[in-house]
Amino acid sequence: MEPWPEANGAAWERALKEIETADLGDGLPIVPPTADRVRQMLTANGVDPEAVVCQLAPLFAPATWQDIAINAVMAGCRPDYLPLVAAAIDALAEPEFNLIGIATTTGSASTLVIVNGPIVQRIGMNTGANALGPGNRANATIGRAVRLVLQNVGGARSGEIDMATLGQPAKFTFCMAESESTSPWSPLHVDRGFTASDSVVTVVGNSGIVEVVDSSSTSAEALAQTFAQSMLIAGTLGGGGLLGGGEPLLVLPPEQAVLLAEVGCSKARFKALVWERAVFPLEQLSPPIRDHVIERRRIENVADVHAPLRVAAKSDDIMIVVAGGVGIKAAYIPTWGGSTRAVSRRVRGA
């Protein structure tokens, strides 16, 4: 790797300092959003810089194409990533996602962007080994750009409006793509009403990742038991007497998905098997939390205030995405314990 030319070094360092002083970054080095870089990104996509994509919480400020392009440049995006970033931002603005709650909570909520369709291969996203980790420019910078837009346009700055007690690494970037070619099932965007040829982003309000490892189970029922038990975390208690917020995401590696398909288990069936087993009796909660749940249920006129907690209201609320490389390491990604629902958007021009 060649060093940065000395003629540009001083200007580069000055730009980084100015961005840091203005609190426009995320703590990592930023690509200075020069007029030329932003113009190239906008021109490549044929968009009106001043056109408003959406009103973005928590400040409910207008997010224009130029705003999004500036932050995409700072994140290190290529021009062909811009429509995907804009689609994700537009999805986040939908009321059911509850961005104002996710952006201001003291919890560790962050935004996960899931990408499906032809655009995944076109821009070279990673769907295989380390699918949720580093190493791929598109995965890394798209998620980072979304976060920077939320901060610099929506106003979710750490310690000011974003009041997360601890936060999580996913607040830097969290973007993945489904491995549709290795999955035996229909992909997420088709499950959500789009066609296979559509390029789609789905945004999820998440609160972390739990690794799920089961190299012994060979039946759908046994594997479902492992996933269900991995999802029963009292500390993720969400609204409505649910664990994890009620719309949990399971990321299965191809080997596990193929195993399930080979024993005749569909995606819908596996969701049902997990849901049936992911039950948390109230008596296993600490007495103060148990009393709180029961009292809240009484106020809400719930028929059975002593009913066990579940991970979702119904099995179809569980989302499943196939991604990853060799191995049987899966993940449970609980949704934020507040009120939030996943939202999908078709990518412009894709």
Residues 212 and 155 in one domain: no
Residues 111 and 70 in one domain: yes
Question: What's the rounded mean pLDDT across residues 144-158?
Answer: 97
Q: What are phi and psi of 335, to 5 degrees?
A: -75, 155
Strand partners, 200: 116, 346
**CB-based contact 342:334 (threshold 8 Å):** no
One-letter amino acid identity for 203? V
Residue 23: CA count within 13 A, CB half-sphere: 9
Residues 220 and 184 in one domain: no
Residue 139 covered by a domain: yes
Residue with the larger pLDDT of the pair 200 and 11: 200
Residue 163 covered by a domain: yes
Residues 107 and 180 in one domain: yes
Residue 346 covered by a domain: no
pLDDT at 238 over 90: no
pLDDT at 152 over 60: yes
Question: What's the rounded mean pLDDT across residues 83-95?
Answer: 98
pLDDT at 122 over 50: yes
Output the pLDDT for position 6. Answer: 42
In the structure, what pLDDT confidence band is assigned to residue 5 with cuts at 50, 70 and 90? very low
Residues 174 and 215 in one domain: no
**CB-based contact 89:56 (threshold 8 Å):** yes
In the structure, what pLDDT confidence band is assigned to residue 7 with cuts at 50, 70 and 90? very low
Which residues lie below 8 Å from residue 74, measured CB to CB, with a gap of 6+?
19, 24, 25, 30, 31, 32, 33, 145, 148
Output the pLDDT for position 260. Answer: 98
User: What is the tens place of the pLDDT at every residue in 21-65?
Assistant: 888 899 898 898 989 999 999 999 999 999 999 999 999 999 999
Residues 123 and 241 in one domain: no
Instruction: Give the pair of three-digit tokens for residue 339.
Output: 């009120």
User: What is the tens place of the pLDDT at every residue in 257-314?
Assistant: 999 999 999 999 999 999 999 999 999 999 999 999 999 999 999 999 999 999 999 9
Output the pLDDT for position 246. Answer: 83
Residues 223 and 325 in one domain: yes
Residues 74 and 213 in one domain: no
Question: What's the rounded mean pLDDT across residues 222-236?
Answer: 95
Output the pLDDT for position 68. Answer: 98
Nearest to 127 by CA among 159, 173, 175: 175
Q: Final residue of a domain: which of 177, 205, 233?
A: 205
Output the pLDDT for position 11. Answer: 76
Q: DSSP string of 145-203?
A: HHHHHHHHTS---BTTTB--SS--GGGT--EEE--GGG-SS--HHHHTT--TTS-EEEE
**CB-based contact 246:239 (threshold 8 Å):** yes
Q: Final residue of a domain: which of 155, 177, 205?
A: 205
Handedness of CA 317, 322, 327, 329 (dihedral sign): negative
Residue 350 covered by a domain: no
User: How far are the Cα atoms of 154, 166, 167, 177, 344 from residue 99, in angstroms, in the given order?
Assistant: 9, 18, 16, 22, 14
In the structure, what pLDDT confidence band is assigned to residue 18 with cuts at 50, 70 and 90? confident
Average model confidence (pLDDT) for the chain? 94
Residue 14 covered by a domain: yes
pLDDT at 71 over 70: yes
Output the pLDDT for position 309. Answer: 94
User: What is the tens place of the pLDDT at every residue in 103-112?
Assistant: 999 999 999 9
pLDDT at 163 over 60: yes
Host domain of residue 165: 1-205
Nearest to 105 by CA among 243, 11, 1, 239: 239
Output the pLDDT for position 42. Answer: 98
Q: Final residue of a domain: which of 139, 174, 205?
A: 205
Euclidean distance between CA atoms 205 and 257, whole angstroms: 24
Output the pLDDT for position 240. Answer: 67
Nearest to 96 by CA among 318, 341, 316, 346: 341
**How many distinct structural domains can be found in the chain?**
2
Q: What share of the chain is helix, strand, coil (3-state, %, to 5)?
A: 40, 15, 40
Residues 102 and 236 in one domain: no
Residue 342 covered by a domain: no
Which residues lie below 8 Å from residue 111, measured CB to CB, with a gap of 6+?
88, 92, 102, 143, 146, 147, 150, 174, 203, 204, 205, 206
Residue 323 covered by a domain: yes
Residues 190 and 244 in one domain: no
Residue 345 covered by a domain: no
Residues 247 and 199 in one domain: no
Residues 161 and 240 in one domain: no
Output the pLDDT for position 135. Answer: 96
